Structure 1
């Protein structure tokens, strides 16, 4: 390597770059396997320009051009323009509301000629930059309620617009930014409350609401009995217990039924019921059942590349996008799937390592944002394919077919690498 090449690649985190390339390659191979059919000529498939895998290779080429441009840009550019990125992202989302194109029930796409783009993907990058800018500002005291509300609003505004586009799945991904806020000082009790509400919702769907009411009353009575001495000294404890009991009861008896009958749409309710095993309609459960069959049929070692029967006979829908993990599970089995997920885990730990070694708050917050986005995408997508989460159309990062997703994750990762590289140059 000559001096100019050394200078060009100086400071790059090679483990991240290597794992990025590995995941993209796995994605292309998996998309090819999802499209391949028994009896097809492999050479013709390789030369086929109308195949999703070929388009993914093209998107990867575009992503590399973007990555190169990012790498050649001074990191101060991203700090200076973070708010402009955010404003541009919000503008794109509003444009989609006005002239968006509908695809599979979602009106979250912009179509220009033959090019189709999903701004909701790109706005994740914009939100991450803006949140990092705000939390790193000297004027921001994140221990104050006002600062926390502003940060929450920065996340919830694009989230709300995306929900109006009927793209609930991607809107949920934006909640990952609250994980970043917890790292920066948001009280942990809020996370406990959030998980408690999720448990309450699931409980109210699985257990009769009046049985739950009896359970809440019994728990409250036991707490009051064992805390009677403290209650005598401090009457406010009794009031707190009764308020919690009242809220849980009202939540189960009124709030959850109202949301499921008046707020959520029928198809969203059916997806949740499928996840909980309460939906018996074969059409509603088809996607999840076929996905689990495909993964389970791979066994310990898999059937071999291009030999998956569930794939070849089109049993699993959307196998190049939402259910791409089925192809990996069927072809390479439990062992291959474990190694594949291990690659993601290694990537996440490496990103966290990079985040913790940053000297600037902006770079640290941004890197944690990248890790949170990848983590939530990974967790939801894998849970979808094995029946632990409703099918909400979340792609597998860098692996699922899709130009908007691949380019967004590429930009997210390479901006982080650029920020980290400049940190190393400052240290020298």
Structure 2
């Protein structure tokens, strides 16, 4: 008789579950602190599902149902259907083009009545499943370039479509899957090249073009001089150095300006320049800003203004914070998007340095626990999937917090489990609980 009972609790990592519940609860409380209107009956407003915090509570309930459903599902189901889910996600992304609703500059949202769906957010789960499936195949030799390119294509295909939908922020998240590939044997040189390209882009923005070109040329000449003996024996080394110099100068002189003038949106360009402290703005961005100013657009749309107000809010919280519902910057809407992208400043103002540190401590504990779960897996699929969860969450947490304190451009990605948004909360819930289900089955096998 006992064998017929659902064994939903068997093998479950309850520490991860409790950390999830704590983070979502903090999120609902923070949204409440940022959007509650004085005089509204608290209980009634929570049950009305008309306020942001009540809707987030509703999505928490839906997420709980999905979590239970996932925990009752055989983990083999996710392995068997990984590619089907990926195909479904790509179809959803393509459906955005004819059926999208433009919201705050992005064209990546499909609206169903009062509900909105952002496939680019949801596809993180599908990409994680498909990438884990591919890397776990017996016939996949990840030491070969062909396999590495296929894995990169799986991760970056949704990113390319997201950029076409003016959703650059979420597109960047898909690059976090390269950390999974690195764990599975991707050469460190690939990550070094990626980091070097990022440094080159920043240098292109900070330095005068001719000066940077001269520096790159000098570095190439110095490399040729220092390696002159090896070059005499291996002529290919000279061509390699010259090729790297040619690519770097091409990126600096042509690729970066083209991307900033034709790919990125004017407000995105301005936010990047604001982050690095540069007053220079490309011509297209200057024209767009002039149009906004003459049309009476509110200053709140200025990315630099957002960050300044966020810093003021976090700084005004001091050591222990002003208390719940007592934050002036967030309560009076000086900080735009304080319930979504800038939710961290609500916590910083209301609960101060101590509250912010506690939140980051919870995140750190969750990430460390996920990595521990990943390393104890017996199957490659489960390990890759768990590392994918850790990579995506780390990227979101690091970029969002750095964004609110001015250390990263404002690219509009949510803080996991905290920021308001049904699609984001459900995506992170599904992402996390599939990992918990995979881990639970591992523990049952060990028994």
Q: If the TM-score is normalised by the length of the shorter chain, which range does it land in?
A: over 0.9
Confirm or deny that 1:419 pairs with 2:438.
yes
Where does 1:132-147 land on structure 2 (aligned, <5 Å)? 132-147=132-147
In 2, the alpha carbon distance for the partners of 1:237 and 1:247 equals 15
In 2, the alpha carbon distance for the partners of 1:206 and 1:369 equals 33
Q: Which residue of 2 aligns with 1:298?
A: 317
Q: Does structure 1 retain, via aligned residues, the 8 Å contact 2:45–2:54?
A: no
Alignment root-mean-square deviation, CA: 2.0
Q: Gapped runs of 5+ residues in structure 1? A: none
Q: Does structure 2 retain, via aligned residues, the 8 Å contact 1:296–1:329?
A: yes
In 2, the alpha carbon distance for the partners of 1:393 and 1:307 equals 26
Q: Which residue of 2 aligns with 1:106?
A: 106
Name the SS of the counterpart of 2:50 in structure 1: coil
Q: TM-score, normalised by structure 1?
A: 0.94
Q: Does structure 2 retain, via aligned residues, the 8 Å contact 1:295–1:327?
A: yes
Q: How many residue pairs get matched?
A: 427
Could you give the per-residue CA deviations for residues 83-129 of structure 1, whole angstroms, max 9, x where no partner exists? Answer: 11111111111111121222112121222232222122211111111
Q: Which residue of 2 aligns with 1:346?
A: 365
Could you give the per-residue CA deviations for residues 329-377 of structure 1, whole angstroms, max 9, x where no partner exists? Answer: 1111122211111111111110010000000011001101111111111
Could you give the per-residue CA deviations for residues 24-44 of structure 1, whole angstroms, max 9, x where no partner exists? Answer: 010010000011355666555
Q: Which residue of 1 aligns with 2:293?
A: none
Q: Which residue of 2 aligns with 1:263?
A: 263
Name the SS of the counterpart of 2:408 in structure 1: coil
Where does 1:220-259 land on structure 2 (aligned, <5 Å)? 220-259=220-259
1:47: Cα distance to partner? 5.1
In 2, the alpha carbon distance for the partners of 1:228 and 1:141 equals 36
Q: Gapped runs of 5+ residues in structure 2? A: 281-288, 290-298
Confirm or deny that 1:396 pairs with 2:415.
yes
In 1, the alpha carbon distance for the partners of 2:249 and 2:93 equals 38
Q: Which residue of 1 aligns with 2:32?
A: 32
Q: Which residue of 1 aligns with 2:130?
A: 130
Confirm or deny that 1:14 pairs with 2:14.
yes
Q: Does structure 1 retain, via aligned residues, the 8 Å contact 2:82–2:133?
A: yes
Name the SS of the counterpart of 2:273 in structure 1: helix
Q: TM-score, normalised by structure 2?
A: 0.91
Q: Which residue of 2 aligns with 1:273?
A: 273
Where does 1:106-185 land on structure 2 (aligned, <5 Å)? 106-185=106-185
Q: Does structure 2 retain, via aligned residues, the 8 Å contact 1:270–1:279?
A: no
